[in-house]
Structure 1
């Protein structure tokens, strides 16, 4: 009897040292993994500033809030550039009008538009911007090979002329800070002066957004995987 008690006591003591048993997880319910964010990131907004509350905004701010919070109004919703620009609703309205014109009203072919945006996002190393627009690019028919060339910074040889020209134009603008005469002439011949100017304005528009995202360290949405190979 004493021997049995000693064994039981040893078992209980060992259990105490090992700690409580792990909670059982039901089959098919994966464990919840919390996204680790930098300490200065607001958990609700996903960036370094709290998301402004609608009731704290003026009339212009409330109108802007309602526009960008509507389902489908923006790709990222309030956890993205639209949430950041709630801090400056008047500037946001001008920026939004320009972005809408360049994306949808300037006459840029959707494929060209998305190649330009992805090239800008890659050259700016904007993980958030890329994650928002890679699916858009695929939806608009941008080939997987073109996306990979931009993502991996591979040579453009072998791509369609329009794709290669847009990529080279963006790389020279943002990486080299100088566009060669050859690249400019090729882009002008392909798109014409007006479309070329608006194409560059589109790239500049998204470079500005990438700068804003970088300043506030905008985080990817929960569950989103980083798609860009950034060290």
Structure 2
């Protein structure tokens, strides 16, 4: 029988606790040749690791992957829970009401299309099950059913994540964008905040207007008449409305992720450049 992700909650908590206790012992074995779960047993101790198997490890195994898991657990902020990787605890199914359990089951289902499981927005929303129902319905529509194709949808999400400097959102969606066929050169334009220039081989008209659309809204808090008109010409009135709603939805998600200080999963490498410190007001 398949295990629900939250059934490993206590294993993760025990492993992280055991990890801190044994960190010094691990440092005494810098040349260990063990890999994958074997290296984790050295770091965590066999009892703490328990049923935590290879499916919890970053792909590729090896000492480098183990070091990433160990390092992340050791550097989590003090108010961040090891199981959820955020300031909110990871809820178990039995802790939820009927509405919450329905949402939980949808997220952990094999048919779920969430990119990060319960350790991300879907798990955070469980703390307000009624809100979770509305947010998930809106998210599913905006991500999969709008007038935009999936490739352009992922581009709009990346523009939003970049303009708000949200590492978690970007790192989850850059691989998804590549999988949907978005050109890596276009991703670099967004990631490096490069000028759009004239549409050509690198950027088509649709890609260029989506980037301009997001940059204007997030930087200037308004959209010029010219950009709006070009967007309507390319996507129609419905498409423009849904593009704005899509960016607004992922902006809301980014704010929630920042509020709970959601951390990347062990083994995930941050794909956005480091956030620059902003000038203080006043």
Fold match (TM-score > 0.5): yes
Match of 2:187 in 1: 147
Aligned length: 211
Match of 1:16 in 2: none
Rounded Cα–Cα distance in structure 2 between residues aligned with 1:204 and 1:190: 20
Deviation, structure 1 residue 203? 0.6
Match of 1:7 in 2: none
Query: Residues 153-202 of structure 1: CA distance to partner in whole angstroms, max 9, x if unpaired?
Result: 00011421110100000011111111111111111111111111011101
Q: Quick check: 2:170–2:271 contact (8 Å CA) kept in 1?
A: yes
Match of 1:175 in 2: 219
Query: Residues 107-151 of structure 1: CA distance to partner in whole angstroms, max 9, x if unpaired?
Result: 311121111010001011111111111011111111111000000
Match of 2:81 in 1: 42
Match of 2:143 in 1: 103
One of 210, 228, 231 as aligned partner of 2:272:
228
Match of 2:159 in 1: 119
Rounded Cα–Cα distance in structure 2 between residues aligned with 1:209 and 1:27: 39
Aligned pairs for 1:157-176 (under 5 A) are 157=197, 158=200, 159-176=203-220
Q: Which moved more, 1:81-90 or 1:70-79?
A: 70-79
Higher Cα radius of gyration: 1
Gap regions ≥5 residues in structure 1? 1-20
Match of 2:235 in 1: 191
Q: Which moved more, 1:76-85 or 1:52-61?
A: 52-61
Rounded Cα–Cα distance in structure 2 between residues aligned with 1:135 and 1:165: 22
- Which structure has the higher relative contact order (CA within 8 Å, separation 6+)? 1
Distance 1:200 1:101, change over 3 A: same
Deviation, structure 1 residue 72? 5.1
Q: Which runs of 4+ in 1 moved over 6 A?
A: none
Aligned to 1:204, the other structure's residue is in SS state: helix
Rounded Cα–Cα distance in structure 2 between residues aligned with 1:152 and 1:220: 21
